[in-house]
Amino acid sequence: MDKIRMPNAIAELDGDEMTHVLWGMIKKELIEPFVELNTEYYDLSLPNRDRTEDAVTRQAADAIKRLKVGVKCATITPNFQRQEEYGLRQLWKSPNATVRAALDGTVFRAPILLSRVKPVVTCWEKPVTIARHAYGDLYKAVEYRVPGAAKAELVVTDENGAELSRQTVYDFKGPGVVQAMHNRDDSILSFARCCFTYALSVKQDVWFGVKDTISKGYDQTFKLLFQQVYDEEYKTAFEAAGLHYRYGLIDDIAAKVIRSRGGMVWACKNYDGDVMSDLIAAASGSLPMMTSVLVSPDGCFEYEAAHGTVTDHFYRWRRGEKVSTNPLATMFAWAGALRKRGELDGIPALGHFADCLERAGLDVFEEGHFSEDLAMLCDPADYTDSPDNDTLIALIRARLGQLLNA
C-alpha cells in the first residue's frame, strides 16, 4: 500500500514522561507506516525548555500560527518539586498557557465515548463539548489577605489618572479577604467567535450561561457581547444549518445539560469551564478519555489530550514494570490534526486515515482490551484484559491495518 502524501507540515510539539513515550510509539507504529508524515518538530520536554529558556515554546506557537495546525503532547508544568527533580533555572510557565496566549485561542474539550463504558449520566447519547474561555477572571485576579479592620475600595482611573469610579468593596471590622477580577471586550468577543465558528464546523448548537442577574456589570457584559456576535455575525449561518444559540443562567444551563441528550458546545467562563470540563469528563467515563483542541479566532487549530504526562506510570515504566496507559486521547489528537490538515489541503485520504486511526483504537477497547484506567469502569462481562502499552499498540496497529485495507 502506498503511503498517504502530506505536502504541508503540521507543527509537532513533543512533551514529557509517559505521554512522550506513547507519542513515539503512536508515531512509529500507527502513523509512519501509513503516512509520509510531514511535521515541524519542536521538543517541549522540560529539559529542552530549560535549555532554550523557553524559546522553543514560543517558536512552536509561531509555527502553529504559520502552519494553521499543530499537535501537542502533554508537558510538565514545573513546580518547586519539579525544579529540584530537573535542576531547572526557573519555574517556566505552562506551555499551554503560552500557546493559548499567542493564539488568543479557546479550548474545546470533548469526551471520547465507548459503548462499553456507560456515562454516569445515562441520557447522554453524544459527547458534551466544553468551550472554556481561557483569559482573565479568577486566573488574572488581584487578591489581598486583609489582616484586620480596614476599608477596601475599587478605584478606576483613566489613562490621564483622572478618577472614573470609586466604590467601597467592604468596610472590614476584622480580618478577611478581597479580590478584584477583570476581563476585556476583545477577549470576550474572540471567545464568542471561536465558539460559534467551532460549533458551525462540528454542526452543534451553542449553549452559554452566566450569572447576569447577580453580576449586572461583569457577567452581563459577557451575555450582551455573545448576543451581539451571534446576531451580527452568525445568526444567518446558524439558521441555515438548522442550529441554535441558547442563552440561560449558568445554574439553569448546568441543570439542562445534565438532562439533555448531549451533543452541544457548552461555552463557559474561565472558572466554570475549569470545573465543568473535569465534571463532564468524569461523568462521561474517565478523566483520561478527554480530547482537547485550541481554536484561534482566525482559524488555527492545536490538538492535544486533555490529561497530563501520567507521571506515576512513567516512574513505574522506568523501573522496568509493565504499565497499561490509555493512548486514545493522544491518538485522537493526532487524528484531529491530520484530519484538519487534510481538510485545509483538500486531501480526503488524510481524513480517512484519521477516521480509521480513531476507529482502530475504539474497536480494540470495544473488543474488551481496556487500558487499566477503564478496567474498573466497564461491565466485568465485557472485560478481557488490560494489555501493557506495547501489546495494546500492537493490537491497535493490527486493527488499523485491517481498516485501511478494507
Min. distance of Cβ 274 from Mg ion in angstroms?
4
Nearer to ligand NAP, 98 or 326 (CB): 326
Query: Contact between 308 and ligand NAP (CB under 6 A)?
Result: yes
Write the binding mask 259 to 288 for Mg ion: x where contact by CB under 5 A, - elsewhere.
Answer: ---------------x---x----------
Q: Should residue 312 be labelled a site residue for ligand NAP when binding is judged by CB under 6 A?
A: yes
The single residue among 11, 64, 74, 128 that binds ligand NAP, judged by CB under 6 A, is: 74
Please tell me whether residue 76 binds ligand NAP under the rule CB under 6 A.
yes
Q: Identify which of residues 74 and 188 has a Cβ nearer to ligand NAP in the complex.
A: 74
For position 373 contacting ligand NAP by CB under 6 A, the verdict is yes
CB 76 within 8 A of CB 46: yes
Determine if 307 is a binding residue for ligand NAP (CB under 6 A).
yes
Residue 228's region, left for phi above 0, alpha for psi from -120 to 50, else beta, is alpha
Give the one entry of ligand NAP, Mg ion, none that residue 391 binds, where binding means its C-beta sits below a cut-off of 5 to 8 angstroms depending on kind. none
Give the range of 69-77, 100-108, 144-152, 232-240 binding ligand NAP by CB under 6 A.
69-77
The site that binds ligand NAP (CB under 6 A) totals a number of residues, namely 18
Nearer to ligand NAP, 106 or 309 (CB): 309
Decide which of ligand NAP, Mg ion, none touches 74; Cβ closer than 5 to 8 Å per partner kind.
ligand NAP
Which one, 281 or 337, has the nearer CB to Mg ion?
Answer: 281
Residue 59 near which of Mg ion, ligand NAP, none (CB within 5-8 Å, type-dependent):
none
Among 48, 77, 83, 187, indicate the residue that binds ligand NAP (CB under 6 A).
Answer: 77
Binding residues (CB under 6 A) for ligand NAP: these are 74-77, 96, 287-288, 304, 307-312, 325-326, 371, 373
Applying CB under 5 A, the residues found at the interface with Mg ion are 274, 278
